[in-house]
Amino acid sequence: MGISGSSKLGKGVILGGQVGVVGHIEIGDHAMVAAKTGVHKAVPAGRIVSGYVQMPHQEWLKTVACFPKLPEMRKTLTSLRKRIGELEEKLDSLRKEKRS
């Protein structure tokens, strides 16, 4: 755990292992910071945060759930970009033919 000297921790704050807190940050009373979280801005009292760049814990859980799907999503996105490009080219050709 790394906490910059100028950071302030409230009462009953719980920090998981390998948490990093940058300087001039305040973590409110009874806030919880999950393991391996990078705290870069203030954490309000009672809030639970997590993530490499802190975010609300529930949002982090949804984000992490997407990680295994990213390679397939990237393939799909690449394919869709290619198909859209081809359709735009066809549409441009049709517009040019129509003008002629």
Say what the pTM is: 0.68
Tens-digit pLDDT profile for residues 48-99 = 999 988 999 999 999 999 999 999 999 999 999 999 999 999 999 999 998 8
- C-alpha span between 25 and 13 (Å, rounded): 13
Count of other CB atoms within 10 angstroms of residue 47: 16
What's the topology of domain 2-66?
UDP N-Acetylglucosamine Acyltransferase; domain 1 (2.160.10)
What pLDDT shows up at residue 78?
98
What pLDDT shows up at residue 53?
84
